[in-house]
Amino acid sequence: MKSSIQYSKLLLATLVIACFAFVGIAIAYRNFWLAFTALFIGFLVMGYGLSLKRKKQHKQETLN
């Protein structure tokens, strides 16, 4: 079994985690606009990653 790291997906996952961590930091500083913005960006990036995964799965299903 070959183990390969998909760096683009690793970067997306790290970016989502960083956005959600930044939400906590923004709330600690009582900057709710910044917290909402980071939350929104986190969900956008997560949605983009899920759409990439869905496209890849659909592409593999059509080939089989």
**Does residue 9 form part of some domain?**
no
Calpha distance 6→33 (Å, rounded): 33
Amino acid (one-letter) located at 8? S
**Does residue 25 form part of some domain?**
yes
**Does residue 8 form part of some domain?**
no
**Does residue 51 form part of some domain?**
yes
- Looking at the 3D structure of the chain, how many domains does it have? 1
pTM of the model: 0.83
pLDDT above 80 for 2: no
**Does residue 49 form part of some domain?**
yes
- Among residues 1, 5, 4, 6, which one has the least CA distance to residue 52? 6
Calpha distance 25→28 (Å, rounded): 5
**Does residue 7 form part of some domain?**
no
Range of the domain at 55: 14-63
Tens digits of residue pLDDT in 5-51: 999 999 999 999 999 999 999 999 999 999 999 999 999 999 999 99
**Does residue 5 form part of some domain?**
no
And the tokens for 63?
């080939």
